Amino acid sequence: MDDDVGARHTPAEVDATFRTLRRVAVGYFVVFLLAVAAFPVLSLTSDWWSEARLVGGMSPGFLVAAFGLYLFFAVLGVAVARLMSAVEHRMLDDTRDDGFSAADEPPGDLP
């Protein structure tokens, strides 16, 4: 860790970063919860979801349970990690422990 004065952050900066990251986490949790809750809701309300046959005689519900949810969770996890990391680095002046600086990154706004 660097004991450089420029690497230290005020409590207000850290608190603002924490609040922003918490807001992002809650937002992604709501997306996760809606996706997980949609599965049983569709199973109870849609005959097509459980009775239709698609690839290899599997129902849409089975395909989503077997493959779709894992893909969704992986994509959501990567999206959360990348966004939270970018937010933290932007809010805390791109201070990193991996030897890179803000000058090493291409310019651009947060997604």
Tens of pLDDT along the chain (111 residues) come to 455 555 677 888 888 888 999 999 999 999 999 999 998 999 999 999 988 899 889 999 999 999 999 999 999 999 999 999 998 888 886 545 555 555 555 555 555
Burial string for 23-35 (b: 16+ CB within 10 Å, else e) reads: eeeeebeeeeeee
Rg of the chain in Å (alpha carbons)? 21
CA dist., res. 11 & res. 41, Å (int):
44
* Domain residue limits, the chain: 12-94
DSSP state of 97: S
